[in-house]
């Protein structure tokens, strides 16, 4: 195998270092909040020379903003999936339940009112909501932006609240199913035409939750 030029190795090293800095920052922010983040602390936690860390991020605000933009971009990837509304609600709730760090970071960013260096992730999400509002399954007169805010806030906040309950995985799954059922009920009442999503109608009536309850071990 031919030897790679030195500049390619250097670039890979730089990319690895930057990724390590961002991953460490994300972990610290999710666990303790953004106030604990300094370039020096991140460098120490990541095992990186402080001067090297400053080469990538000149100040903490730039680092925090870049991490938050990356989180928003990652979260918005869920809206690229092509799923019917009923399945999409379950998918999104499950996604955030598996990634509580995204939800904690969103909460910190919201409370701090910190601007993002770019809004690509947020823009992708709201484009998806506007596309839904124009689709045949949507009721007329939907305010796509406000509906998007309501749905996103509810799902993100729920993923934090459910983690605060001392429950088993089975119990947590049931709580998520119950939340999904009520979310679907609200969407069917004000956003989605029931005639266009029969599966969601059945789910909102509790069939899935009742099936899970019937199979759960008796206590």
CATH code at 113?
Answer: 1.10.357
Q: Mean pLDDT for the chain?
A: 82
A 10 A CB-CB count for 28 gives 19
Residues 42 and 83 in one domain: no
Residues 145 and 112 in one domain: yes
Q: How confident is the model at residue 22 (pLDDT cuts 50, 70, 90)?
A: very high
Q: Are 30 and 53 in contact (CB under 8 A)?
A: no
Residues 8 and 70 in one domain: no
pLDDT at 219: 42
Residues 79 and 31 in one domain: no
Boundary residue ending a domain (12, 38, 58): 58
A 10 A CB-CB count for 112 gives 13
Residues 3 and 104 in one domain: no
Residues 143 and 125 in one domain: yes
Residues 105 and 125 in one domain: yes
Q: How confident is the model at residue 206 (pLDDT cuts 50, 70, 90)?
A: low
Domain with 169, as residue range(s), is 65-215
Residue bearing tokens 């869920």: 78
Q: Are 176 and 97 in contact (CB under 8 A)?
A: yes
Ranges 108-117, 158-167, 206-215: which has the least confidence? 206-215
Residues 111 and 172 in one domain: yes
Boundary residue ending a domain (37, 58, 79): 58
| DSSP-based three-state secondary structure for 78 | helix
Residues 22 and 120 in one domain: no
Count of domains in the chain?
A: 2
Residues 201 and 122 in one domain: yes
What's the CATH code of the domain at 42?
1.10.10.60
DSSP H or E run through 1: none
Boundary residue ending a domain (58, 78, 101): 58
Residues 53 and 74 in one domain: no
With a CB cutoff of 8 Å and minimum separation 6, the contacts of 28 are 36, 37, 41, 42, 45
pLDDT at 217: 47
DSSP character for 5?
P
pLDDT at 8: 47
Residues 111 and 91 in one domain: yes
Mean pLDDT to the nearest integer, 31-55: 91
Query: pLDDT tens-digit profile of 129-172?
Result: 999 999 999 999 999 999 999 998 898 889 888 877 767 888 88
φ/ψ of residue 192, rounded to 5? -110, 135
How far apart, in whole angstroms, are the C-alpha atoms of residue 68 and residue 183?
A: 27
Query: pLDDT tens-digit profile of 67-93?
Result: 888 888 887 777 777 888 888 899 889
The alpha helices in the chain, defined as continuous H runs, are 6-32, 39-46, 50-56, 60-76, 85-98, 100-112, 120-134, 144-164, 169-190, 198-204, 207-215
């Amino acid at each position: 195998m031919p030897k790679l030029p030195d500049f390619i190795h250097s670039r890979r090293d730089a990319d690895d270092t930057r990724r390590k800095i961002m991953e460490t920052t994300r972990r610290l922010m999710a666990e303790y909040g953004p106030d604990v983040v300094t370039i020096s602390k991140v460098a120490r936690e990541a095992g990186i020379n402080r001067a090297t860390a400053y080469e990538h991020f000149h100040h903490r605000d730039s680092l925090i903003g870049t991490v938050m933009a990356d989180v928003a971009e990652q979260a918005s990837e869920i809206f690229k999936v092509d799923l019917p509304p009923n399945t999409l609600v379950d998918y999104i709730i499950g996604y955030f339940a598996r990634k509580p760090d995204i939800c904690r970071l969103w909460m910190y960013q919201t409370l701090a009112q910190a601007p993002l260096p770019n809004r690509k992730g947020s823009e992708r999400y709201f484009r998806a909501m506007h596309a839904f509002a124009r689709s045949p399954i949507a009721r007329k007169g939907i305010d796509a932006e406000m509906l998007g805010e309501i749905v996103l806030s509810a799902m993100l906040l729920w993923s934090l609240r459910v983690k605060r309950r001392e429950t088993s995985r089975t119990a947590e799954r049931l709580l998520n199913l119950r939340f999904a059922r009520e979310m679907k009920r609200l969407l069917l009442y004000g956003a989605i035409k029931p005639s266009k999503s029969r599966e969601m109608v059945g789910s909102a009536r509790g069939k899935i939750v009742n099936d899970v309850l019937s199979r759960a071990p008796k206590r």
